[in-house]
């Protein structure tokens, strides 16, 4: 087609050249004609056409050749084209012919019709060289209503305008414009009409696009017909740059171009929304037979984040091959597609295959739905296509599942012959059909088999099967449950019935759930005209939901218009509990008829409640009346307080409630009793509401409040506090601190249509005082104020503290709004000045301290933003105090915090512990997002850390601490150069917890989980003067430990602690420690390895004790040289000789006790033999001190009664008898008689 058109273009250019020759010939004939008549002109044109061999005809001639000249019914024909012009009008300047110029001042063509005859091209197009003997000047030429016909194609050009000059082969286009079907083109430049026709053109153009902005471009075209270069700037729906080359335009044209897309215009961006920020690059290369396109596009989607695509397409003349189409998301997901599209009738045919990996949705705001892998296949045309899908799904709170589906469809419907989903240890098989022509309707049949919800939610184990039928017709959707049954959490379960949705109406068709001893039923319609019944009967709520307990009966009925409903409901329950919440009993009835019956009655009582950790005795709600006049009473009583209110009012026709708050009472141990001074008017509707000013009073104090809701987020409020006694704050203060005085306050606030708050508040303490340890401190008038408006938030603090000092502060957040309170760019302005001359009052918050003295001075200026705060100034603390629990005093405490306006706060400090000096240096980077990163270093030499009878200890630390948002780390070392450790004996009742005990805080966290996660790597070394004397052990401690702790893990150690020059008391005898070590091999600090050898020499006999194993599970054995049986070795160890040499009964008893202790360490055969011979169920040795041993002997007199006798072996003699009786498997009572009398009650919990 391109070659055919090129030949026609060549013939058109030849025709233009011939026409110019005709004009020259006419000009020559003009010299022979003395006058011009229409008849003469007609003969002249006929003669000229015959001479030139042109098929040219004119129906009518008017005017003169010298101008103006008008031709009507002009027709011209040749082998390649046919031209008809309804009217041609020519105006020119004949006289300029004498100067070699053909000057046409005006040329108009009305409704020209050009018909092109298609001809087979004989070869490449060869454009003629055009070189006229005259200079041609065309001031203005215009053609209107031009039609161009080629074969069956017809194009209409509304207007063409031209202004040009031609001299020789050089054609200068001053202006060429074209308008066609809303499109427009303007061109200017130069063309040399010889050779390859070099050209240099600039122009602009526009093209209308339906429902989008007009596509416009501007740029330049340079080169010649062998190689044409173009560069365009696009505007409108695309903001882009287009550049490239066209080569061999007269032969086999080829295109190479690049489109750089910067962004989309508003209308097109709205079309592809929510895809935003689209940009990319497209490259095209090829000719008339084949074309290749490749490129990349990227953008953002709210639920997917950044998405990008890579593509490579190839057009081979008969099919479009999708060689690469790759879609990627910002979360790493990728979809790869490949295939082919063949054009044809009705959209052609497509064969497409694809694979995806790690697709997720949405991108943020919660756990996404993820498909780790999947495949798809699409084949066919719009009237017969087939689709296959297979993939896996997980996340978003849903169980992991695999999906396989096969579908077939056409223009009207989609058939789903096979659907299978494997999930929760079972499967869902289905089939169905969806039709959208002539109307929307569908049907999906699902069969569930072996579904175990416990796979996804461990608290819901079970196995369920059943059938589901989902149907849709128009805007109605129905789900029919056909006996979904099985077991759930150990209870038999059956679910049946149907759920329908039509418009805004919900239809329940005999919906019934049975689970164990619970039954839930619902049937009816919930809509603008409702008719719904429901009931719940359960003798064990645990069968409905994990953690629920108790009995509950609930039933009700709802009917009527939503603005005038009729509702009856009844609830009965007992022993209801969920977690820490408990309700002993609930009993209630509701009867509401806002239609014809016009009645209202409510009676609800709940007793024995535990809510949010607080106990409440009862709650009573009562209401009665009708629509226009009713009354509501509420009472709540509990151990910590209670309250009550009475409301009276009525509803108007517009569903607006108007009435009064007649009574309001609030009572609590901390706040006392507050009562409403007088009734308050209250009005409320769906568009607004008002609470008139009302006041609560209590012992001279008052709190008044007024509220107004103006609809939506618009509110107004005013609150005033007067003479609030500060004694109410006593529960918040240390026990020996009291505050006296009264506080006054005021709060006004309002919110606009956007929900932004504005207002002001103030809190003042005119006269107040503090009493502490018999000292009364009179404080000056204090005040805290704040203002929030469109300019931002301002705060001020004035706190004179009498002789203690003063605290003053100012802060301002310009432009701060409640709509965006944590804006990182929020500016900060402020200043804090504090001066505390006495610190003794602070000791009340730290009971471990005594004799706290010192002062605190500070002056800090705040600037920067929330994300990057800045401080300027310093704060200095000087103090001294005693630590009575450790018997030491800390003196010369100095701590200075300094910042010069940068992004760090520097620390510098010191404190004297005895003769040793502790120094601290460090800095905190003012970076809230980074968790205020902090670095500190603590260094000291021979710091006195304890000076009490139990311990005297010096330490030399060198520690480095780093803290950040993700946790902290402690590194360094501690040297104990000198210490004397004299620990006291453990109390008789002290019992170590077993290994499976975990210490849990009130928040439900283990002790290790509280605070900032901290990792540590500290080396501990003992000096040459560290002694220990306690628990029967005396000696010097040596060694070194590398202590390590990772957040959330048990602390471990590596190294060993040795005991040198030591003695050990065992069985009432002092033994020399030959070898004693605690061994740590990356083992827990609480359970190191033990290696201990202690001995005693009696004449030529050496006996001793050897301990191995771990601290929690030591293995004890007695050895002797020369070797002897253990009973003889024990006798030498205890008495210095064999037992048969005059041993008394008490000696034998001590030997039995020692054997019992030995049995616990591995000599079980010996203890078993002794116990068997004595006929006892218990035989054990226990120590209450270094040299105080006691023998415990016991026996069961009946399955529930146990008798125990305890007698002392060494030291002070004790004799006791204990009786224990098992009331139940968990509850025991124990009595004790002897030197101490006691009765104990024990409750056992096993884990």
Domain identity same for 168 and 33 = yes
Task: For residues 1152 and 127, give the distance between their C-alpha atoms in angstroms, rounded to a whole number.
Answer: 129
**What pLDDT score does 1147 carry?**
52
Do the strands 1178-1183 and 1114-1121 form a parallel or antiparallel pair, or are they unpaired? unpaired
User: Is 681 in the same domain as 789?
Assistant: yes
In a domain, 717, yes or no: yes
Average pLDDT over residues 1067-1094: 83
CA 886 to chain centroid, in Å, comes to 48
Q: Which domain holds residue 718?
A: 642-770+784-799
pLDDT of the residue at 1163: 37
* DSSP-derived secondary structure letter, 365: S
- Would 929 be classed as within a structural domain? no
Closest CA to 331 of 300, 296, 353: 300
Tell me if 795 is assigned to some domain.
Answer: yes
Statement to judge: residues 1135 and 1148 lie in one domain: no
Q: Is there a domain that residue 727 lies in?
A: yes
Q: What is d(CA 854, CA 805) in angstroms, rounded to the nearest whole number?
A: 12
Q: What is the DSSP string of 1216-1229?
A: EEEEEEESSSSEEE
| Strand bridging mode 1014-1030 / 967-981 | parallel
DSSP 53-119: T-EEE-SEEEE-TTS-EEEEEEEEE-SSEEEEEEEEEEEEEGGGGGGTEEEEEEEEEES-EEEEPP-
1230 within domain boundaries = yes
- Predicted local confidence at residue 732, as pLDDT: 67
Q: 3-state SS of 667-699?
A: EECCCEEEEECCCEEEEECCCCEEEEEEEEEEC
In which band, very low, low, confident or very high, does the pLDDT at 34 lie, cut at 50, 70 and 90? very low
What backbone phi and psi angles, to 5 degrees, belong to 727? -60, -20
Residues 266-277 as b or e (16 or more Cβ within 10 Å = b) = eebbeeeeebee
CB contact set of 670 (below 8 Å; sequence gap of 6+) = 728, 731
Final residue in a domain of this structure, among 1122, 1143, 1164: 1143
Interior/surface letters 71-97, b for 16+ CB within 10 angstroms, e for the rest: beebebebebbbbbbebbbbbbbbeeb
The DSSP code sequence of 771-827 is: EETTEEEEE--EEEEEEEETTEEEEEEEEE-GGGEEEEEEEEEET--TTSTT-TT-B
Task: Kindly report whether the peptide bond that precedes residue 274 is cis, defined as omega within 30 degrees of 0.
Answer: yes
The conformation of residue 840, written as its DSSP 8-state character, comes to G
Do 68 and 93 belong together in one domain?
A: yes
pLDDT in tens, 662-687: 999 998 877 788 999 999 999 988 78
Give the whole-angstrom CA distance, residue 138 versus residue 103: 6
From residue 393, how far is each of 179, 281, 400, 445, 554 by CA, in Å? Answer: 56, 33, 6, 21, 39
**77 and 186 share a domain?**
yes
Q: What are phi and psi of 7, to 5 degrees?
A: -65, -40
Mean of pLDDT over the chain: 83
Kindly report, residue by residue over 929-951, the tens digit of the pLDDT. Answer: 888 999 999 999 999 999 998 89
Q: How many domains does the chain have?
A: 4
Stretch 561-577: mean pLDDT: 89
Choose one of 171, 195, 219: the last residue of a domain.
195
Tally Cβ neighbours within 10 Å of residue 1037: 20
| Cα 688–Cα 692–Cα 697 angle in degrees, nearest 5 | 140
| Omega before 1134 within 30 of 0, i.e. cis | no
Instruction: Show the tokens assigned to 517.
Output: 């001893």
Q: How far from chain centre, in Å, is Cα 677? A: 47
List CB contacts of 890: < 8 A, sequence separation 6 or more.
880, 881, 882, 883, 911, 912, 913
How many angstroms separate the Cα of 985 from the Cα of each of 233, 950, 989, 1186, 1236?
93, 10, 11, 8, 19
Residue 708 to residues 661, 746, 1100, 1208, Cα–Cα distance (Å) = 15, 17, 102, 80
Whether residue 1072 sits in one domain with residue 1028: yes
Could you tell me what percent of the chain has a pLDDT over 70?
Answer: 83
Residue 2 has pLDDT above 60, yes or no: no
737 and 662 together in one domain: yes
Residue 679: which of 719, 652, 649 has the closest Cα? 649
Decide if 76 is inside a domain: yes
Residue 666 preceded by cis peptide, ω within 30? no
Q: pLDDT class for 446, splitting at 50, 70, 90?
A: very high
Measured CA distances, 924 to 369, 861, 877, 935, 936 (Å)? 40, 16, 18, 6, 9
Q: Where are the beta strands (DSSP E) in 362-453?
A: 369-381, 384-395, 398-409, 413-423, 426-435, 441-451
1134 lies in the same domain as 1151? no
**Phi, psi (rounded to 5 degrees) for 366:** 145, 180
Tell me if the bond preceding 1122 is cis, omega within 30° of 0: yes
- Check residue 596 and report its DSSP letter: S
What is the Cα Rg of the chain in Å? 50
Q: Say if residue 1052 is in the same domain as residue 1112.
A: yes
What does the pLDDT average to over 1207-1221?
62
Q: What is the mean pLDDT of residues 745-771?
A: 89
Q: What is the pLDDT of residues 612-642, one digit of tens each?
A: 778 889 999 999 998 888 999 999 998 878 9
Q: How far is CA 84 from the centre of its chain?
A: 74
pLDDT digits (tens, 9 = 90+) for 326-346: 988 877 889 999 999 888 877
Classify residue 756: in a domain, yes or no: yes
Task: Name the packing angle between helices 1126-1135 and 1145-1160 (round to 10°).
Answer: 120
**SS3 at position 27:** helix
Amino acid 33: pLDDT: 47
The two three-digit tokens of residue 254, written as one number: 């080829």
Domain end point (choices 1111, 1143, 1175): 1143
Do 1154 and 1134 have their domain in common? no
pLDDT at 55 over 70: yes
Q: In the structure, what pLDDT confidence band is assigned to residue 1008 with cuts at 50, 70 and 90?
A: very low
Q: What is the pLDDT of residues 1146-1172, one digit of tens each?
A: 555 555 555 544 444 443 333 333 444
Do 1130 and 1175 sit in the same domain of this protein? no
Residue 1189 lies in a domain: yes
> Before 807, cis peptide (omega within 30)?
no
Sheet of 1227-1234, strand order: 1178-1183, 1189-1196, 1201-1208, 1215-1222, 1227-1234, 1238-1243
Residues 505-511 have a mean pLDDT of: 91
Count the neighbouring beta carbons within 10 Å of the beta carbon of residue 70: 17
Same-domain status, 1132 and 1156 = no
pLDDT tens digits, residue range 962-989?
998 888 899 999 999 999 988 765 444 3
Percent of the chain with pLDDT over 90: 44
Beta bridge partners of 718: 706, 748
């Amino acid at each position: 087609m391109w070659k055919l058109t090129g030949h026609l273009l060549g013939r058109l250019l030849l025709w233009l050249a011939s026409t110019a020759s005709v004009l020259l010939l006419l000009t020559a004939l003009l010299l022979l004609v003395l006058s011009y008549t229409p008849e003469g002109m007609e003969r002249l044109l006929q003669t000229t056409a015959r001479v030139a061999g042109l098929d040219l005809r004119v129906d009518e001639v008017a005017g003169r050749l010298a101008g103006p000249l008008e031709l009507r019914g002009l027709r011209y024909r040749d082998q390649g084209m046919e031209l008809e012009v309804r009217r041609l009008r020519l105006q020119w300047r004949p006289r300029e012919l004498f100067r070699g110029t053909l000057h046409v001042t005006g040329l108009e063509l009305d409704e020209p019709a050009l018909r092109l005859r298609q001809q087979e091209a004989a070869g490449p197009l060869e454009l003629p060289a055009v070189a006229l003997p005259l200079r041609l000047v065309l001031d203005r030429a215009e053609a209107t209503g031009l039609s161009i016909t080629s074969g069956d194609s017809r194009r209409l050009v509304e207007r063409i305008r031209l202004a040009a000059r031609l001299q020789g082969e050089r054609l200068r286009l001053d202006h060429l414009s074209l308008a066609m079907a809303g499109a427009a083109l303007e061109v200017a430049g130069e063309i040399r009409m010889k050779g390859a026709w070099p050209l240099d053109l600039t122009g602009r153009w526009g093209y209308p696009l339906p429902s989008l902005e007009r596509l416009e471009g501007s740029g330049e075209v340079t080169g010649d017909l062998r190689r044409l270069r173009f560069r365009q700037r696009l505007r409108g729906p695309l903001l882009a740059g287009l550049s490239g080359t066209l080569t061999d335009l007269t032969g086999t044209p080829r295109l190479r171009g690049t489109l750089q897309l910067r962004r989309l215009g508003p209308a097109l961006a709205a079309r592809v929304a929510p895809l935003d920020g689209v940009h990319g690059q497209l490259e095209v290369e090829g000719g008339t037979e084949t074309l290749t396109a490749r490129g990349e596009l990227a953008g953002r989607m709210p639920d997917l984040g950044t998405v990008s695509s890579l593509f490579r397409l190839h057009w081979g003349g008969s099919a479009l091959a999708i060689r690469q189409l790759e879609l990627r998301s910002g979360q790493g997901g990728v979809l790869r597609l490949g295939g082919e599209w063949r054009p044809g009738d009705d959209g052609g045919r497509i064969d497409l295959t694809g694979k995806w990996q790690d697709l997720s949705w949405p991108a943020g705001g919660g756990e996404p739905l993820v498909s780790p892998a999947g495949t798809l296949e699409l084949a066919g045309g719009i009237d017969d296509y087939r689709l296959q899908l297979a993939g896996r799904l997980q996340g978003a709170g849903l169980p992991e599942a695999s999906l396989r589906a096969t579908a077939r469809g056409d223009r009207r419907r989609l058939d789903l012959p096979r659907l299978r989903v494997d999930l929760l240890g079972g499967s869902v098989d289905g089939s169905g059909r969806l039709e959208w022509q002539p109307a929307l309707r569908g049907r999906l049949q699902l069969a569930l088999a072996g579904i175990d919800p416990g796979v996804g939610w461990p608290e819901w184990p079970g196995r369920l099967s059943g059938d589901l039928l989902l149907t849709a017709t128009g805007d109605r959707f129905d789900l029919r449950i056909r006996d979904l049954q099985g077991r759930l959490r150990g209870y038999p379960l059956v679910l049946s019935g149907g759920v329908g949705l039509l418009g805004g109406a919900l239809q329940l068709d005999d919906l019934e759930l049975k689970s164990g001893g619970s039954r839930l039923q619902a049937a009816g319609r919930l809509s603008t005209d409702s008719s719904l019944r429901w009931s719940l009967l359960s003798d064990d709520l645990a069968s409905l939901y994990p953690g629920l307990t108790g009995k509950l009966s609930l039933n009700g009925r709802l009917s009527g218009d939503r603005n005038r409903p009729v509702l009856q409901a009844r609830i009965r329950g007992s022993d209801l509990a969920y977690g820490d919440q408990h309700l002993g009993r609930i009993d209630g009835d509701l009867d509401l008829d806002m239609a014809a019956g016009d009645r209202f009655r409510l009676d609800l009582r709940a007793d024995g409640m535990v809510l949010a950790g607080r106990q409440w005795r009862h709650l009573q709600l009562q209401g009665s009346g009708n629509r226009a006049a009713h009354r509501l009473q509420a009472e709540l009583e509990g151990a910590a307080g209670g309250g009550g209110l009475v409301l009276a009012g009525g509803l108007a026709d517009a569903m607006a409630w108007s009435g009064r708050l007649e009574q309001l009472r609030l009572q609590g141990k901390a706040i006392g009793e507050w009562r409403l001074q007088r009734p308050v008017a209250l009005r409320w509707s769906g568009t607004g509401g008002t609470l008139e000013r009302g006041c609560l009073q209590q012992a001279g104090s008052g709190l008044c409040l007024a509220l107004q809701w103006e609809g939506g987020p618009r509110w107004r409020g005013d609150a005033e506090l007067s003479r609030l006694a500060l004694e109410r704050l006593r529960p918040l203060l240390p026990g020996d601190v009291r505050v006296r005085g009264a506080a006054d306050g005021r709060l006004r606030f309002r919110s606009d249509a956007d929900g932004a708050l504005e207002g002001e508040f103030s809190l003042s303490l005119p006269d107040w005082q503090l009493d502490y340890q018999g000292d009364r401190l009179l404080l000056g008038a204090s005040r805290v104020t704040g203002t929030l408006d469109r300019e931002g938030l301002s705060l001020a603090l004035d706190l004179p503290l009498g002789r203690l000092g003063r605290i003053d502060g100012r802060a301002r957040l310009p432009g701060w709004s409640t709509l965006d309170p944590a804006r990182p760019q929020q500016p900060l302005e402020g200043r804090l000045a504090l001066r505390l001359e006495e610190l003794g009052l602070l000791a009340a918050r730290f009971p471990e301290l005594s004799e706290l003295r010192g002062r605190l001075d500070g002056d800090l200026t705040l600037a920067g933003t929330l994300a990057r705060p800045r401080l300027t100034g310093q704060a200095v603390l000087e103090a001294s105090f005693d630590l009575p629990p450790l018997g030491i005093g800390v003196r010369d405490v100095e701590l200075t915090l300094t910042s010069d306006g940068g992004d760090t706060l520097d620390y510098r400090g010191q404190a004297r512990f005895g003769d040793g000096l502790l120094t601290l240096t460090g800095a905190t980077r003012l970076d809230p997002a980074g968790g205020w990163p902090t670095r500190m270093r603590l260094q000291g030499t021979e710091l006195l850390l304890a000076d009490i009878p139990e311990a005297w200890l010096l330490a030399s630390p060198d520690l480095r601490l780093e803290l950040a948002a993700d946790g902290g780390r402690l590194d360094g070392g501690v040297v104990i150069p000198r210490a004397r450790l004299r620990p006291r004996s453990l109390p008789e009742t002290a019992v170590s917890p077993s290994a499976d005990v975990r210490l849990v805080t009130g928040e439900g966290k283990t002790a290790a989980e509280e605070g900032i996660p901290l990792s540590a790597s500290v080396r501990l070394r003992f000096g040459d003067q560290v002694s220990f004397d306690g628990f029967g052990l005396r000696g010097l401690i040596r060694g070194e430990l590398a202590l390590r702790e990772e957040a959330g893990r048990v602390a471990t150690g590596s190294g060993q602690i040795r005991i040198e020059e030591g003695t050990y008391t065992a069985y009432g005898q002092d033994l020399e420690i030959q070898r004693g070590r605690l061994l740590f091999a990356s083992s827990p600090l609480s359970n190191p390895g033990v290696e201990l050898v202690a001995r005693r020499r009696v004449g030529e006999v050496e006996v001793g004790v050897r301990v191995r194993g771990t601290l929690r599970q030591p293995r004890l054995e007695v050895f002797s040289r020369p070797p002897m049986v253990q009973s003889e070795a024990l006798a030498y160890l205890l008495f210095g000789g064999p037992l048969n040499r005059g041993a008394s009964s008490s000696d034998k008893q001590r030997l039995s006790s020692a054997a019992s202790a030995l049995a616990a360490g591995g000599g079980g055969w010996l203890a078993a033999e002794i116990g068997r011979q004595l006929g006892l169920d218990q035989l054990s040795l226990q120590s209450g001190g270094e040299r105080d041993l006691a023998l415990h002997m016991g026996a069961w007199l009946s399955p529930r009664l146990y008798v125990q006798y305890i007698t002392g072996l060494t030291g002070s003699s004790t004799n006791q008898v204990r009786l224990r009786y098992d009331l139940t498997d968990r509850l025991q009572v124990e009595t004790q008689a002897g030197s101490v009398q006691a009765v104990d009650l024990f409750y056992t919990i096993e884990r």
